[in-house]
């Protein structure tokens, strides 16, 4: 933890990751303000409308750290052309709005932690992906590349870290949300070959890693892309099978790739069948200690 409380502004504070993140930061003694799209309910909330109007730069004055997790849910299906545009624009507009406010703030933040995702790598089954690995191809890779580029337009003096988040395993949402009801109905099974690497991370470690990057002295020199993924790689079959075991349900089906693609189209390739063996080198070298080192333990914690 930092030696003294920090002033931290969070965008995307009401989401699956943002909600426990704000709680963890406040529990650690930091002063947290949030950006909301409705009427503010407290003095620590500030209304914004990214893509529609500028953010008052005064909102950023005095903030040590800005954390940007804003963006439409990629797990919402189907990916129609209009929703794909929303996935992209919600991320770019939010980031552009924050960066523009930084440019005009009298005291810009010293650190900007901005979202990205494992999708930046595309499908890379034969690669071990370090934090600075090049972007791949595909819709999510293009979105994440543009998202990171927008964050890197922050003014001089602002250290930028882009959070390449993997598949988050936790209660109330994330990767397991669509798997649990299917498994409860006895429809759990292998997705495609099951051998694709899923860059999993427990929600508790996702939050812990962001708090660490924002506040820990050991992370003060970290810059650029950071892989937020568990330290032990896991293939999809390990995760989906463990869900079935924890729910005491059968695990007998295999859903072939062609069926997933027929049902989910592009989203099947991008979210379920792509393989990304991410290594959290920067996070480990900066001194972060994972609570969950095995995917099975992260799944167990949900149940």
Residue range 237-257: average pLDDT? 95
**For 170-179, b where at least 16 C-beta lie within 10 A, e where not — what string?**
beeebbbeeb
Q: What pLDDT is stored for residue 281 in this prediction? A: 98
Distance between CA atoms of residues 287 and 279, nearest Å: 15
> Does residue 263 carry a pLDDT above 90?
no
Q: Which pTM value belongs to this model?
A: 0.96
Q: What pLDDT digit, counting tens, does each position of 107-117 carry?
A: 999 999 999 99
Q: What pLDDT is stored for residue 173 in this prediction? A: 83
**Phi/psi of residue 185, each to 5°?**
-85, 10
> Based on the structure, what is the number of domains in the chain?
1
Do the domain assignments include residue 225? Answer: yes
Report the alpha-carbon angle 168-170-174, nearest 5. 50
Residue range 218-227: average pLDDT? 97
> Which of the pair, 150 or 176, is modelled with greater confidence?
150
Do the domain assignments include residue 1? Answer: no
Distance between CA atoms of residues 281 and 264, nearest Å: 33
> Does residue 252 carry a pLDDT above 80?
yes
Name the H helices within 152-280: 179-184, 203-215, 236-247, 257-264, 266-267
Do the domain assignments include residue 108? Answer: yes
Per the structure, the complete domain to which residue 197 belongs is given by 7-302
Q: Residue 130: give its domain's CATH number.
A: 3.40.50.720
Do the domain assignments include residue 110? Answer: yes
DSSP string, 64-109: SEEEE-----TTSS---HHHHHHHHHHHHHHHHHHHHHHHH-SS--
3: pLDDT confidence band, cut at 50, 70 and 90? low
Q: Which residue from 153, 168, 172 is spatially nearest to 205, judged by alpha carbons? A: 168
Do the domain assignments include residue 2? Answer: no
1: pLDDT confidence band, cut at 50, 70 and 90? very low
């Amino acid at each position: 933890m930092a030696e003294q409380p920090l002033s931290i502004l969070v965008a995307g504070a009401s989401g699956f990751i943002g909600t426990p993140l704000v709680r963890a930061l406040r529990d650690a003694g930091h002063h947290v303000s949030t950006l909301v799209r409705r009427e503010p309910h407290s003095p620590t909330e500030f209304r914004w409308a990214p893509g529609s109007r500028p953010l008052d730069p005064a909102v950023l004055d005095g903030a040590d750290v800005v954390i940007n997790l804003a963006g439409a849910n990629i797990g919402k299906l189907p990916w129609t052309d209009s929703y794909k545009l929303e996935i992209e624009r919600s991320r770019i507009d939010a980031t552009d709005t924050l960066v523009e406010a930084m440019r005009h703030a009298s005291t810009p933040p010293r650190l900007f932690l901005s979202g990205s995702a494992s999708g930046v790598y595309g499908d890379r089954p034969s690669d071990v992906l370090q934090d600075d690995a090049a972007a791949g191809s595909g819709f999510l890779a293009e979105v994440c590349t543009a998202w990171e580029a927008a964050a890197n337009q922050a003014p001089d003096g602002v250290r930028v870290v882009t959070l390449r988040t993997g598949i988050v395993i936790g209660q109330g949402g994330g990767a397991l949300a669509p798997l649990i009801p299917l498994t409860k109905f006895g429809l759990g099974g292998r997705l495609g070959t099951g051998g694709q690497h899923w860059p999993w991370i427990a929600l508790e470690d996702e939050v812990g890693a962001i708090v660490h990057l924002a506040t820990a002295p050991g992370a003060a020199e970290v810059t650029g892309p950071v892989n937020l993924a568990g330290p032990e790689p896991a293939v999809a079959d390990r995760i989906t099978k463990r869900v079935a075991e924890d729910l005491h349900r059968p695990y007998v089906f295999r859903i072939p790739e062609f069926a997933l693609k027929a049902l989910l189209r592009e989203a099947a390739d991008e979210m379920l069948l792509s393989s990304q063996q991410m290594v959290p080198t920067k996070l480990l070298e900066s001194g972060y200690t994972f609570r969950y080192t095995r995917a099975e333990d992260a799944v167990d914690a949900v149940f």
